[in-house]
Amino acid sequence: MTIDYLKRGRSDDDRRQDDAQTRASVESTLADIEARGDVAVRALSEKFDSYSPENFRLSAAEIEALIATLTEREIADIRFAQAQVVKFAEAQRASMTDIEVETLPGVILGHKNIPVQSVGCYVPGGKFPMVASAHMSVATAKVAGVPRIVACTPPFGGKPNAGVIAAMHFGGADEIWVLGGIQAIGAMALGTETVDPVHMLVGPGNAFVAEAKRQLFGRVGIDLFAGPTETLVIADDTVDAELCATDLLGQAEHGYNSPAVLLTTSRRLAEQTLAEIDRLLDILPTADTARKSWEDYGEVIVCDSHEEMLAVADDIASEHVQVMTDRDDWYLDNMTCYGALFLGPRTNVANGDKVIGTNHTLPTKKAGRYTGGLWVGKFLKTHSYQRITTDEAAARIGAYGSRLCLLEGFVGHAEQCNIRVRRYGGINVPYGGAAPYRDTD
């Protein structure tokens, strides 16, 4: 097995040091928000966004005024993209059914899918106004039936971004707040004098937003660890360097710490892609960001075979995986650790980010090993229930329960079963004793 790195990104140790610094900063900031509430939130907004309006929550009139600044074409495009996301979310919701089954005569078991009762949706917007993130969180929560949807987004250029606000409003947000970063996450999770806390936080964000969600997990639910964008391009010599370089830089422009990796069986393609990236960085308007990401986090890996590429890809567990090979469906059948797959040269990660309909809030930092991305099911809780409808079933299950509880030493548990064996089965079980076994069982 030969794996050759033509380019490496920053070491794991360097990345861990960055994470430690972020962790400490977030911890102290959340403590400040919990202690000082609205005062801390306003101070943070002034410090990081130079934004301090009379009210951070937008009124209905303010929302309508912002939407009115958009062109008909912009509104139509937003609605088209949102419709694709809603359509796929509705299909996913339809696949999740409540069930009820009689497992034994008189024993009824079931489960219900119940929406989370309040959700805080974070929509990034400091560097780029992430209109599409509103579809992915707000509109999907609406499809799930969440009764209270709170949406937060930072100001862009010193004011609310009309496109983001429109997408939030069209998606069904009940409250829209112009707040960004840790202050938004902290306010929604911890609550302040003016912000009622939510039960769950969702949405992507920078390293600080992702870390804030991680630290708040347990007090509230979170969708997943969705930090800085990651992309992995798996390619062979069926595609060219321009396509690979474009797809790598298209995601590297997200931020200064967005990993972009090329994994290929073709050394020629690898070398040509490196040269093509240099060329494109000279003409890309967002090169300042993309170049920093590529220099520090870009990697080019050459493998001997598709089997080797599969093993490396599953180990990387990238958020986005673009597959452009002579066997794309083979990767679909065999890959196990990733956020989302983009199969073939005709599609690309930007489609998934903005319009095609799958959710773009996806696991990062290897979280694809244990979770998929945000989807309608994340907003639903599956709760089980049980019912016993006959005396015979109560006595039969109770007898088994009695003996199994005592096997573990739980006498009080056993008595919960025994009292029902006595009442519904007419069997005089000694207090703290085991219910007898019957041959009919």
Q: What is the pLDDT along the chain (441 residues), one digit of tens a residue?
A: 678 898 898 887 877 787 888 999 999 999 999 999 999 999 999 999 999 999 999 999 999 999 999 999 999 999 999 999 999 999 999 999 999 999 999 999 999 999 999 999 999 997 889 999 999 999 999 999 999 999 999 999 999 999 999 999 999 999 999 999 999 999 999 999 999 999 999 999 888 999 999 999 999 999 987 778 999 999 999 999 999 999 999 999 988 889 999 999 999 999 999 999 999 999 999 999 999 999 999 999 999 999 999 999 999 999 999 999 999 999 999 999 999 999 999 999 999 999 999 999 999 999 999 999 999 999 999 999 999 999 999 999 999 999 999 999 999 999 999 999 999 999 999 999 999 998 766
The answer on whether 229 is annotated among ligand-binding residues is: yes
**84 and 159 share one domain:** yes
Provide the token pair at 217.
């997990």
Query: Which CA distances in Å does 268 have to 42, 231, 260, 323?
Result: 54, 21, 19, 18
* Same domain, yes or no: 28 and 124: yes
Beta bridge partners of 202: 121
Question: In this structure, are 407 and 361 located in the same domain?
Answer: no
End-to-end CA distance of the chain: 57
Within-domain flag for 106:
no
Report the distance separating Cα 206 and Cα 202, nearest Å. Answer: 13
Last residue of a domain, one of 319, 343, 373: 373
Cα dihedral across residues 74, 80, 83, 88: positive or negative: negative
333 token code pair = 């059948």
Same domain, 167 and 214: yes
The answer to whether residue 101 is domain-embedded is: no
**Among residues 175, 320, 360, 415, which one is catalytic?**
320
- Put simply, whether the predicted model's pTM sits higher than 0.85 gets the answer yes
169 is in an annotated binding site: no
Degrees, nearest 5: CA angle 309-311-241: 20
122 is in an annotated binding site: yes
Q: Which helix (H) or strand (E) holds 164?
A: helix 162-171
d(CA 4, CA 157): 44
Residues 216 and 261 in one domain: no
Q: Is the separation of the CB atoms in 186 and 33 below 8 Å?
A: yes
- Is residue 62 among the annotated active site residues? no
Our answer to whether residue 319 is catalytic in this structure is yes
* Residue 74 in domain: yes
**CA atoms in the 13 A half-sphere facing the CB of 269:** 24
d(CA 144, CA 166): 20
Instruction: Say if residue 274 is in the same domain as residue 360.
Output: yes
Q: How far apart are CA 373 and CA 371, in angstroms?
A: 7
Q: Give the position of tokens 């495009």.
A: 77
Q: Which domain holds residue 341?
A: 228-373
- 164 in any annotated domain: yes
- Regarding whether 305 and 259 lie in a shared domain, the answer is yes
Residue 183 marked ligand-binding: yes
The answer to whether residues 127 and 206 belong to one domain is: yes
Amino acid at 54: E
Count: domains in the chain: 3
Looking at 211, 253, 319, 415, which residue is catalytic? 319
The letter for the amino acid at 339 is G
Asked whether residue 433 is assigned to any structural domain, the reply reads: yes
Closest C-alpha among 23, 359, 309 to residue 202: 359
Do residues 218 and 254 share a domain?
no
Helix, strand, coil percentages (3-state) for the chain, rounded to 5, are: 50, 15, 35
The verdict on whether residue 408 carries a ligand-binding annotation is yes
- Asked, for residue 6, whether it belongs to a domain, the answer is no
351 and 419 housed in the same domain: no
Q: Are residues 399 and 338 in the same domain?
A: no
Asked if 192 and 75 sit in the same domain, the reply is yes
Whole-number pLDDT of residue 294: 96
Could you please report the per-residue DSSP string of 333-372?
HH--S-SEEEESTT--HHHHHHTSSS------TTGGGT--
Which of residues 189, 223, 257 is at a domain's end? 223
Q: Which of 325, 345, 373 is where one domain is finished?
A: 373
CATH number at residue 73: 3.40.50.1980
